[in-house]
Chains A and B, each alone.
Chain A
């Protein structure tokens, strides 16, 4: 089954890294196939950043996202540019502390940035909170695969913080407010 996941937020939030971690979890630890792509602009920080991951049990032929069915949105501008047209059949996980709008599709509101700042003390791990919530709500990869891929990808010395962030995301999703 082919799933197309689109991540968007502002530059500096770790949107690209989130997509790379998800793809890595699928390929290395769930032995699935994945392709990760991204939109490159000239700016290194700010703006609307977008990255996509396709995950499939079979080899992925066409590598570009055509009909994303899962959205992870972490900024209002990202919502407007890459999330507003999500079809009703899609699932969206959004950072309710930063995104004002709500989509027509199934939506999980995760206050990731707020929780990262207040409970975990570092807003930089908001993207990892979102990944935890994404996996808890969609099961697109296993939790174990996600955790291992996170640990492969984050800077040394931040492993405990990032594991905590992932768990926080899973917890928020379980408690979460789902809106159909």
Chain B
């Protein structure tokens, strides 16, 4: 597969900043879709508003770039009206967890057969670097100038609690694992949620002491801990530092799902 197989070449170059992690996520997602052998005619990309949500505009399938936070509600309509279509939603932490939080939990509850890829950069990038529901405590943004005082959402825990059939978290560093997770999500009937923590050098990294793009990627690499390893450490009674986050496949189950192609 090359990018020309899926990209609208006449729309390039894209708007993402140099060093942005979103391109990695889009690449891996398209690779997984390509591996599925999905027909372009029967695949639809849906998104809301934000940096991540610009992705469908660069992909040559039918695509629906909607209103802020509402992508999952739009996608629900597309999928229920025509279950033969394969639906992938691109979203971000602000779009999905703040303004779209209610649609997120209800899409998980319905377990509607779509795959959601969330590019979590822990910041509002499109509007210039404001704090989001996943900005870690103490981190700086234009609206948390003294450090975020609010606890952050764990989006995967939320998806699991609300009923999604497949849930996984990786980062823009873990490209192979992430691509495999997206493919597993595409294969799983019902709602699949794959979160990718991504670097945002322009708005997050710059304000939070990541001088180089690679500094933030390195941070993602060194602060990620596999679920299995975490469980092992806990069993041994070892303390897991607060700034570590869990990666890996976090749920795979077979709850009743809606909109599954017969």
**Direct A–B contact in complex, judged by CB atoms less than 8 Å apart:** no
